[in-house]
């Protein structure tokens, strides 16, 4: 079973949940969604891997390309919920140094929450 779901958590913050295998069967779809979301230049994205069981080099390349674009536009792509096997693949290539990786979705959301509350919004009091 596999699917990719997207959900807007707050303005400029999206959650993408990848289920099953991030290989040639799903990567083109993920690539399309990421590109679409990144039309909004400062948009940040949390990719939740807790339901993902596999990733190959094509999946890694897609995430890296998206992360690079996000950072150049002032946004970010962070990951969460990686299983041990997937973590092993990220570590093997050093991608654990490139991505901010959270254990859970909650921690990833908290990270952006804290950024929001630190930002001068003008209506926060």
Q: How many helices (H) and strands (E) does the chain have?
A: 4, 5
Residue closer to other proteins (CB basis): 97 or 118 = 97
Residue closer to other proteins (CB basis): 94 or 125 = 94
Distances (CA, A) of 98 to 48, 83, 90, 91, 94: 16, 18, 10, 10, 7
Nearest approach in angstroms of CB 29 to other proteins is 13
Residue closer to other proteins (CB basis): 75 or 109 = 75
Sheet with 13-22, strands from edge to edge, namely 3-10, 13-22, 44-55, 77-80, 101-102
Binding site for other proteins (CB under 8 A): 23-25, 54, 56-58, 60-61, 64-65, 67-68, 71, 85, 89, 92-95, 97-98
Structure tokens at 98: 């490139």
Nearest approach in angstroms of CB 11 to other proteins is 25
Nearest approach in angstroms of CB 117 to other proteins is 26
Residue closer to other proteins (CB basis): 15 or 98 = 98
Alpha-carbon span 113 to 56, nearest angstrom: 31
């Amino acid at each position: 079973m596999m699917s990719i779901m997207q959900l807007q958590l707050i303005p400029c913050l999206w959650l993408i949940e990848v289920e099953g295998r991030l290989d040639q069967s799903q990567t083109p779809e993920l690539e399309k969604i990421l590109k679409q979301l990144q039309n909004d230049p400062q948009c940040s994205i949390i990719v939740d891997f807790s339901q993902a069981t596999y990733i190959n080099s094509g999946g890694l390349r897609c995430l890296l390309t998206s992360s690079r674009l996000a950072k150049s536009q002032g946004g970010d792509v962070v990951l969460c919920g990686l299983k041990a096997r997937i973590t092993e693949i990220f570590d093997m290539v050093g991608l654990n140094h490139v991505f901010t990786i959270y254990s859970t979705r909650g921690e990833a959301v908290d990270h952006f929450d804290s950024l929001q509350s630190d930002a001068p919004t003008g209506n926060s009091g």
